Chains A and B, each alone.
Chain A
Amino acid sequence: MSRLLNVDNLETKFRTADGHLPAVRKISFSVDKEETLCIVGESGCGKSITSLSIMGLLPSNGEITGGSIRLDDENLIGKSEEEMEQLRGNALSMIFQEPMTALNPVLTIGYQLREPLTIHKNMSKKEATKASIELLDKVGIPDSKEKLDQYPHELSGGMRQRVMIAMALACEPSLLVADEPTTALDVTIQAQILDLIHELQSDIGMGVIFVTHDMGVVADIADRVMVMYAGEVVEVADVESIFENPQHPYTKGLLESVPDVDDVSQELQVIKGSMPGLNDEISGCRFHLRCPFATEVCKHKEPPSFEVTPTHYSKCWLQEVNQSGQPDTIT
């Protein structure tokens, strides 16, 4: 499989009253064709900003200040707004968290669905309407023809998210960025939407970046998992390794804080403290203040990304201890 997306040393900052604050701190990752990469982390860790950086849809006070984002070997950083417009909705698509507000309330479903087709595929209105009906059928919306003349408020949340997915996939993108697309939906609808994304992914053969904080969703759909904390990638691994052999104390903390419905006596673990703000400069490892295993070195020196296996990396000094043959302190 060839690399579809290569993000290298991406740094995104926000202009605020307190100066330029980094929200994403030099992160690197890649996505293959037909692969699903889950970005996991708590609110404010930079996962949404990472996906908006890829799309070139940062809020007006945000800007990419370093690194590269290569889609099919083409660097997206430095592209003009017009060039990005040609890519967005075409090779590069995104679905958002809030289906209730993500669709334009004063335009019909049909109008909004036809748009990517008329913009990128040069379809006439008639052709686009026909394609839209097929798209709605594909995402499982009944009476698709009538739905075209309806407005978003006439549809339920799950239906709206299906419309969003249909819109995002209209031009069969090579990369889909999904920013918590199921968070606002109830659990049964969530499962349906996940299945739908998975099914369409294998149809089109696209790569998916799936942003979530729900470990259940991760287990369901991820091929690989990238854990983010305070603007950094702390651990990357295939989904089995993340669940069965997590290395970074933060990943372990995340997994331990997931309730187990079968274990009534389980006491839920928490990660002590809270995530640092964007402007908090922390020396050494950014997690050491909350880490139960922190040592002297963690306080002063930023850990590099250690290779656990060729597909598993952890940004933690504990790896050095492990790799240098010393007793394994984290179990």
Chain B
Amino acid sequence: MIGLITRRFFQLILLLFGISFLVFMSMHMAPGDPATIIGGPNATSSDLEAIREEMGLNRPVLVQYFDYLGNILQGDFGYSYQTNQAVTEAIITRFPTTVKLAAASMIVAVIIGVVAGIISARKQNSWIDVTSTTFALVGVSIPNFWLGAMLILIFAVNLQVLPVGGLSSPVYTIEGMKELILPAITLGTASAALIARMTRSSMLEVIRSDYIRTARAKGVRKRPLIWVHALKNALIPVVTIIGINFGTLLGGTIITEQVFAINGIGRLMIDAIAARDFPIVQGTVLLVAAIFVVVNLVVDIIYALIDPRISYD
């Protein structure tokens, strides 16, 4: 297990090098010049030249990259072109909001998805199953922004039971919970649908397996049969889906954060891309990449906990 974690840690570092290079290059190749944004509409060409000179933007790209890399290794991710705020600080202030949103969505998705999947599999081809699989299909098909807009329209504008947007109150307050409901459903629906489908098919396969028949031959009652004998086996592929989804959720809150006016990493990233704020874009992309790797590591560790046949030693 420790070997696995060490291995993954070195993989992560290599991966981050690669990603930092790709992001750096693609940002510099993209049209748009940060100097014009910093200088504003009235800047003269000599002003712009001065800005480029000051920020080192007119040096060769590779020199700029290695410069950046050197700074990263010292923990310096640069400063925002727009606000002059340190990138690390910008991320640290926004990250908890995104984690809160992603975690809430994941909890919604896992509870709904796993329970719906199990019920569907238990009552295969019944009306419950048909309803649940239909919802799952609709759920993966609905675009986030549309679902978010519709939820706002129904619950915030017409019924006026939940707030339109924002995510600033602490979670443990009623206000904070209310703020979280709509964005969490918006972001979690697709994952819930995916998890439900995966749980259903995995469960159906397990229910037909020899060891479930053995358990029944011993007289094991229905409940322990499903929740002890079958579920643990059926969860192995589901954990993969949950892991991949959690990474996507953390990195993919962009649209939901836009729709609900939530100041998280997603909004930080999209605003930075629009403003050619290179340091912020690079910092947030590196963060998302690191999260993906860490989540995958956690998934691998959970595998070993669920399935005794998997060992990393």
Closest to A154 in B: B308
Contacts A57-B216, A96-B210; is A85 near B221 (CB within 8 Å)? yes
Interface residues of B (CB under 8 A from A): 208-222, 228-229, 232-233, 306-309
**Top-5 shortest CB links A-B:** A89-B219, A89-B218, A101-B210, A88-B219, A104-B211
**Most A CB atoms within 10 A — which of B210, B212, B229?**
B210
16 contacts between A and B (CB under 8 A): A85-B219, A89-B218, A93-B217, A94-B217, A96-B217, A101-B209, A102-B213, A103-B211, A103-B214, A104-B214, A106-B233, A106-B307, A115-B220, A119-B219, A151-B308, A153-B309
Closest to A151 in B: B308
The verdict on A230 contacting chain B, using a C-beta distance below 8 Å, is: no
A residues near B209, Cβ cutoff 8 Å: 101
Contacts A102-B210, A104-B233; is A88 near B308 (CB within 8 Å)? no
Q: How far is A115 from B211 in the complex, measured between Cα atoms in Å?
A: 13
Q: How far is A57 from B219 in the complex, measured between Cα atoms in Å?
A: 11
Q: Are B219 and A106 in contact (CB under 8 A)?
A: no
Taking the closest CB of chain B, its distance from the CB of A268, in whole angstroms, is: 32
**Most B CB atoms within 10 A — which of A96, A104, A153?**
A104
Q: Which residues A39-69 have CB closer than 8 A to chain B?
A: 55, 57, 59
Taking the closest CB of chain A, its distance from the CB of B52, in whole angstroms, is: 61
Q: How far is A325 from B83 in the complex, measured between Cα atoms in Å?
A: 113
B residues near A57, Cβ cutoff 8 Å: 213, 216-217
B residues near A98, Cβ cutoff 8 Å: 210
Which of B218, B232, B306 lies in contact with A88, CB distance below 8 A? B218
Task: Given A104-B215, A107-B229, A115-B220, output 18 extra A-B contacts at Cβ < 8 Å.
Answer: A57-B216, A57-B217, A88-B219, A89-B220, A96-B210, A96-B213, A101-B209, A101-B210, A102-B210, A104-B233, A105-B309, A106-B232, A106-B306, A112-B215, A116-B218, A151-B309, A153-B309, A168-B217
Closest to A59 in B: B208
Which of B219, B233, B306 lies in contact with A116, CB distance below 8 A? B219
Q: Are A153 and B218 in contact (CB under 8 A)?
A: no
B residues near A168, Cβ cutoff 8 Å: 217-218
B residues near A90, Cβ cutoff 8 Å: 219
Closest to B306 in A: A106
A residues near B309, Cβ cutoff 8 Å: 105, 151, 153
Taking the closest CB of chain B, its distance from the CB of A208, in whole angstroms, is: 15
Chain B's interface: helix, strand, loop or mixed, by majority? helix
A residues near B218, Cβ cutoff 8 Å: 88-89, 93, 115-116, 119, 167-168
Q: How far is A86 from B218 in the complex, measured between Cα atoms in Å?
A: 9
Closest to B207 in A: A60
Q: Are B307 and A105 in contact (CB under 8 A)?
A: yes
The verdict on A278 contacting chain B, using a C-beta distance below 8 Å, is: no
Taking the closest CB of chain B, its distance from the CB of A67, in whole angstroms, is: 21
Q: Are A119 and B221 in contact (CB under 8 A)?
A: yes
Interface residues of A (CB under 8 A from B): 55, 57, 59, 81, 85-90, 93-94, 96, 98, 101-107, 112, 115-116, 119-120, 151, 153, 164, 167-168
A residues near B228, Cβ cutoff 8 Å: 107
Contacts A119-B218, A119-B220, A167-B218; is A102 near B211 (CB within 8 Å)? yes
Q: How far is A86 from B221 in the complex, measured between Cα atoms in Å?
A: 9
Q: How far is A106 from B233 in the complex, measured between Cα atoms in Å?
A: 7
Taking the closest CB of chain A, its distance from the CB of B175, in whole angstroms, is: 43
Q: How far is A106 from B216 in the complex, measured between Cα atoms in Å?
A: 16
Closest to B216 in A: A57
**Most A CB atoms within 10 A — which of B208, B213, B232, B306?**
B213
Q: How far is A101 from B215 in the complex, measured between Cα atoms in Å?
A: 12
Q: How far is A168 from B217 in the complex, measured between Cα atoms in Å?
A: 8
Q: How far is A86 from B211 in the complex, measured between Cα atoms in Å?
A: 19
Taking the closest CB of chain A, its distance from the CB of B302, in whole angstroms, is: 13
Q: How far is A112 from B215 in the complex, measured between Cα atoms in Å?
A: 8
A residues near B215, Cβ cutoff 8 Å: 104, 112, 115
Q: How far is A15 from B248 in the complex, measured between Cα atoms in Å?
A: 43
Q: How far is A119 from B283 in the complex, measured between Cα atoms in Å?
A: 57
Q: Are A153 and B211 in contact (CB under 8 A)?
A: no
Taking the closest CB of chain A, its distance from the CB of B180, in whole angstroms, is: 34
Taking the closest CB of chain B, its distance from the CB of A60, in whole angstroms, is: 8
Q: How far is A105 from B220 in the complex, measured between Cα atoms in Å?
A: 16
Closest to A81 in B: B222
Taking the closest CB of chain B, its distance from the CB of A288, in whole angstroms, is: 36
Q: How far is A119 from B218 in the complex, measured between Cα atoms in Å?
A: 9
Q: How far is A290 from B217 in the complex, measured between Cα atoms in Å?
A: 37
Closest to B221 in A: A85
Closest to B210 in A: A101
Q: Are A164 and B219 in contact (CB under 8 A)?
A: no
Q: Are A88 and B211 in contact (CB under 8 A)?
A: no
Taking the closest CB of chain B, its distance from the CB of A211, in whole angstroms, is: 14
